[in-house]
């Protein structure tokens, strides 16, 4: 078995890093990945509830300002 210290390993990784990153970016699809399985009813309910709670929490914290009936301002963190 070949022995190697961390400095040699880091050097090899650093030398190949840009090529690997370039290859990953080329192979990556520019489009958004779509869901392949349908959403479960329970999962949909849970996600809706989480969104409603997050919205109410933001309202209480004053992060949402209602500018008109259809226009809101939401202050992101």
Total domains, the chain: 1
Domain that holds residue 46: 40-77
Is 2 within the bounds of a domain? no
4 pLDDT exceeds 80?
no
Q: What is the pLDDT of residues 20-57, one digit of tens each?
A: 888 888 887 778 777 788 889 999 999 999 999 999 99
3-state helix/strand/coil string of the chain: CCCCCHHHHHHHHHHHHHHHHHHHHHHCCCCCCCCCCCCCHHHHHHHHHHHHHHHHHHHHHCCEEECCCCCEEECCC
Does a structural domain hold residue 28? no
Q: Tell if the pTM clears 0.85, that is, is over it.
A: no
Report the mean per-residue pLDDT for the chain: 88
In a domain, 10, yes or no: no
């Amino acid at each position: 078995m070949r022995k190697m210290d961390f400095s040699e390993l880091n050097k090899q990784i650093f030398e190949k890093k840009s090529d690997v990153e370039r290859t990953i970016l080329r192979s990556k699809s520019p489009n958004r990945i779509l869901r392949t399985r349908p959403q479960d009813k329970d999962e949909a309910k849970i996600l809706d509830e989480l969104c409603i709670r997050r919205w109410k929490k933001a309202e209480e914290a004053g992060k949402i300002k209602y500018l008109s009936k259809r226009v809101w301002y939401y202050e992101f963190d």
